[in-house]
Amino acid sequence: MTESIRVRHAALKTFIHGCFVAEGIPEADAAIASRMMSEADLNGSDGHGVFRLAQYIERIRVGGMTKNPKLSVIRERAAMALVDGDNGLGHLAATRAVEIAMKKAETTGVAWCGTRMSNHAGPAGLYARMPLKKDMIGIYMAVGNANHLPPWGGTDMLLSTNPIAVAVPTKHEPPIVLDMATTVAAYGKVKTKAQRGETMPEGWMIDRMGQPLTDPTKADQGFLLPIGGAKGYGLALIFGLLAGTLNGAAFGKDVIDFNADCKSLTNTGQMIIAVSVEAFCDVDQFKENVDQVICDIRASPTLPDFDSVRLPGERAHSVRLDNQKNGIPIHPALFENLQVLADEQGVQRLG
């Protein structure tokens, strides 16, 4: 069996919700986390949705994550807030931060919320997208949950792939949603190459001598490369300071590898900015202007090796439409693991 099994979005959400509740997570929290996780899968971020469910539950079981966190706002001004996630699921703190930012931006025009004592919260794009429904622009940054990147020219892995996501509302076009790590390749892509027995292209990783590393099974002997050399290093550093240090969350040498260590507090930090378009200009005109930019870009002639020019978020949008229609594809190995988890948690198996 090598073909993916297609699972309906609603069924996946119900499944995740059931597993969380069986673990002792309060209904309301399970509802938020299952909504965000299944949404990640719906958008094709398949390394960040239900794929992480067993890992989250394991972290709760061994005491690395709190199953009944009391979220609190520990700093607040008219256009900012700092949410303490009390070491619960990262989706809870990140979602709360976005909601507060959106609420504040309604009156102040722009608002910025940070999180501390949060955890892995799935793909950055999930949170940047939330303000779209209020005709707001969303900007999200996070400290990644494992350091795979040294500073430019160095060999100490002090930085993570610290991502940024920005979502911009549109009128008729799918929204523009940029969602990117500051490294050329995400670490998950390296793992996938290893699983498939493929080599990596030059430019993804280097070894400790600075030479190209193309054998993904030797990934632990090298480092990811930042985009644009020193520039990507600079971005990873800045996003880490804004999403981590500013919030009193872990950054740099304090970041633990959450894949290798389920027990230690991650003290993950994230940040979101909500920008009310209506504060700046006529919302309809803005959306039309963004649509026009999209059309101009799409109309560009292409280079010989390309058959079209795409917009950030275009792939996720088409994957989403396909998944809504045909169900979310779950890799057979993951599907098997989820059935085992279902039995463990005493919830109904998938599909």
Site residues (CB under 8 A) for a second copy, limited to 20-49: none
Helix (H) or strand (E) holding 77: strand 72-77
Question: For residue 214, with 0-12 CB atoms within 10 Å meaning exposed, 13-18 middle and 19 or more buried, which class applies?
Answer: middle
Q: Does 78 bind a second copy (CB under 8 A)?
A: yes
Q: Does 187 bind a second copy (CB under 8 A)?
A: no
What DSSP string describes 122-142?
S-HHHHHHGGGGGTEEEEEEE
CA of residue 153 relative to chain centroid, distance: 27
Candidates 15, 51, 56, 112: give the one binding a second copy (CB under 8 A): 112
Which residues have C-beta within 8 Å of that of residue 67, sequence separation ≥ 6?
23, 24, 25, 60, 88
Name the residue nearer to a second copy (CB basis): 61 or 306: 306
Give every CB contact of residue 222 below 8 A, 6+ residues apart in sequence.
205, 206, 207, 208, 213
Establish if 312 lies at the interface with a second copy (CB under 8 A). yes
Question: Considering only 4-12, 212-220, 281-289, 334-342, which stretch makes contact with a second copy by CB under 8 A?
Answer: 281-289
User: From the CB of 26, what's the least distance to a second copy, in Å?
Assistant: 29
Q: Is 172 in the site for a second copy (CB under 8 A)?
A: no
- The answer to whether 92 touches 99, Cβ cutoff 8 Å, is no
Chain positions 128 to 157 lying near a second copy, rule: CB under 8 A, are 137, 150-156
Cβ contact 258:146 at 8 Å = yes
Q: Supply the minimum distance, in Å, between the C-beta of residue 155 and a second copy.
A: 5
Stretch that binds a second copy, among 17-25, 90-98, 295-303, 320-328 (CB under 8 A): 295-303
In the complex, what is the shortest distance from the CB of residue 207 to a second copy, in angstroms, rounded to a whole number?
A: 10
The one among 1, 10, 28, 209 contacting a second copy by CB under 8 A: 209
Nearer to a second copy, 37 or 142 (CB): 142
Instruction: Answer yes or no whether residue 107 interacts with a second copy by CB under 8 A.
Output: yes
Crossing angle for the helix pair 27-42 and 314-326, nearest 10 degrees? Answer: 110
Helix 90-108 × helix 27-42 angle, to 10°: 80
CA distances from 225 to 65, 74, 186, 200, 241 (A): 31, 36, 10, 12, 19
| Of 242, 272, 328, 350, the one binding a second copy by CB under 8 A | 242
Min dist CB 277 to a second copy, Å, is 7
Give the shortest CB-129-to-a second copy separation in angstroms. 14
